[in-house]
Amino acid sequence: MPKDVTAKTASEGVIFEFVIVGESQKVSAIDIASGIEVSIITPLNAERPYVQDIALCKLNRRLQKEVHPIKGDGIIT
């Protein structure tokens, strides 16, 4: 993955996938360049733009962790 990762917007190489699971939906955001994927679970009636923004924020946070990994004495599970 390139080390100059900047925050992504929905139109900059991000794929969103919506999967209905009962009364919920799984929303995945996938960065095309790196293949990194994150997902969230939301109520089925949550508005699509709102859940896309949440998934995109989670993806951007994950991409930043790839560039600047957290170091410390934490417990790895």
- Give me the tens of pLDDT residue by residue for the chain, a chain 77 residues long: 344 445 566 667 899 999 999 999 999 999 998 999 999 999 999 999 999 999 999 999 999 987 766 666 666 65
What pLDDT score does 19 carry? 96
Q: Where are the domains of the chain?
A: 14-67
- Report the alpha-carbon distance of residue 17 to residue 34 in Å, rounded: 16
pLDDT score for 76: 60
Identify the pLDDT of residue 37. 95
Q: What are the CA-CA distances from residue 57 to residues 11, 14, 22, 77 (Å)? A: 14, 12, 25, 24
pLDDT of residue 51: 96
User: What pLDDT, on a 0 to 100 scale, did the predictor assign at position 72?
Assistant: 63
